[in-house]
Amino acid sequence: MPVKGSLGKKYKAAIAAYDREELFSPLEAAEIVKKSAKAKFDESVEVAVRLGVDPRKAEQMIRGTVALPSGTGKTVRIAVFAAGDAAQAARDAGAELVGADELAAEIEKGNMDFDLAIATPDMMPLVGRLGRVLGPRGLMPNPKTGTVTQDVGKAVGEFKGGKVEYRTDRYGNVHVQLGKVSFTVEQIEANFRAVLDEIQRAKPASAKGRYLRKITVSSTMGPGVKVDLNRLRPETV
């Protein structure tokens, strides 16, 4: 997408001759990722943020959700553990799999055709028994991410609409999808800023030193593009 005004020559030069060691603004990084994507499918775009946290300390591990203003560009399949009115609300909201004991039985058989699991609080004893299956896949419902809630219908709608989970891994990194390479640079940048705002909001009180250490944006098959930590504010065009 052409960019007007002050981004001008430097922006165009960055796209034409991408230096993997150079640092770019979020908008430039989004454009380079789009231009660098050569796969025959619509690649996903992801941001990886290295945080100045100690992964050995539980209180410094952040976890939560963020609503992406541009959505994710993917269809999220959701499984909901609920009964009665809550189960019907989940179905009405578009959940692909809804149930209780029967859903748990299917999961125990290895039927894991979903991307996200949500549960009402009363279902957690049942869901807890699936921890060894759901946990390693990052699918265990958790109150911190809004996936343990009485209002499962609302939760399904939010996650279908572009709400995503994030969490630090054991190395202190956070990986979040920003959309697809078919998105405009503005859509990718809007999602980038939403993610960054949320990560900064979630900064642990006990974290010392520089919090944001490194930010890289990449597509599924493409190289990482490094973001300049001193150029995180929106640029005027």
Does the residue 5 lie in any domain?
no
Residues 106 and 214 in one domain: no
pTM of the model: 0.80
Which among 138, 160, 182 is the end of a domain?
160
Does the residue 51 lie in any domain?
yes
3-state secondary structure of 94: coil
pLDDT in tens, 118-159: 999 999 999 999 999 999 998 999 998 899 999 999 999 999
CATH of residue 131's domain is 3.40.50.790
Residues 82 and 96 in one domain: yes
3-state secondary structure of 194: helix
Mean pLDDT value across the chain:
89
Question: Which runs of E-coded beta strand occur in the chain?
Answer: 44-51, 63-67, 78-81, 97-99, 116-119, 163-167, 173-180, 212-219, 225-226
Give the confidence band of 60 by pLDDT, cuts at 50, 70, 90: very high
For the beta sheet containing 97-99, the strands, ordered from the edge strand earlier in sequence to the opposite edge, are 97-99, 78-81, 116-119
How many CA atoms does the CB half-sphere of 28 hold within 13 Å? 28
Does the residue 42 lie in any domain?
yes
CA 154/CA 176 separation, integer angstroms:
22
Domain that holds residue 132: 78-160
CATH of residue 48's domain is 3.30.190.20
Does the residue 190 lie in any domain?
yes
pLDDT in tens, 84-119: 999 999 999 999 999 999 999 999 998 899 999 999
> In the chain, how many domains are there?
2
Residues 57 and 170 in one domain: yes
pLDDT at 235 over 70: no
Give the confidence band of 16 by pLDDT, cuts at 50, 70, 90: low
CB burial of 179-192 (b: ≥16 within 10 Å; e: otherwise) equals bbbebebebbbbbb
What integer pLDDT is reported at residue 3 of this predicted model?
A: 44
Give the confidence band of 82 by pLDDT, cuts at 50, 70, 90: very high
pLDDT in tens, 185-223: 999 999 999 999 999 999 999 988 999 999 999 998 888
